[in-house]
Amino acid sequence: MATVGYSKKVMEHFMNPHNVGVIENPDGYGKVGNPVCGDVMEIFIKVKEDIITDIKFRTFGCGSAIATSSMVTDLAKGKHIDEAVKITRGDVANELDGLPAQKMHCSNLAADALHEAIKDYKNKKQKK
């Protein structure tokens, strides 16, 4: 049978998303998406010795946009940046027990936002 609606896990993360908010003076910041398309995600990271010690997000978007943001922050938290940068859209979608086909781009955005934040952290580090 074809999947109907969102998985239970997506709805859990949508209703009670983890790691919501802003980190003041983050070590890395990534923002992707476009309000015109209906999805904007931003991720803030705090990094200590290349380990993501804290991570927060804010998202404007649909149910899966919020759930994938929450999931990607869970997956990245406590990871070394070299590990976190390997997190893919597929990982995010799998951890959420799948996403409807037309919503896969949301998981893409979540992974992209994380990668942008890591890139920002690396750039800042180089400048130091």
Q: Is 22 exposed, middle or buried (0-12, 13-18, 19+ CB in 10 A)?
A: exposed
Print burial letters for 108-121: b (CB count within 10 Å at least 16), e (below 16).
bbbbbbbbbbbebb
- Here the tokens at position 25 are 């003076």
Q: Which is nearer to another protein, 8 or 80 (CB)?
A: 8
User: Which residue of the set 106, 109, 114, 118 is catalytic?
Assistant: 106
Please tell me whether residue 66 binds another protein under the rule CB under 8 A: yes
Q: Please tell me the count of residues contacting another protein according to CB under 8 A.
A: 28
Residue from the set 45, 52, 55, 65 that interacts with another protein by CB under 8 A: 65
Please tell me whether residue 58 binds another protein under the rule CB under 8 A: yes
Does 106 participate in catalysis according to the annotation? Answer: yes
| Residues designated catalytic | 37, 106
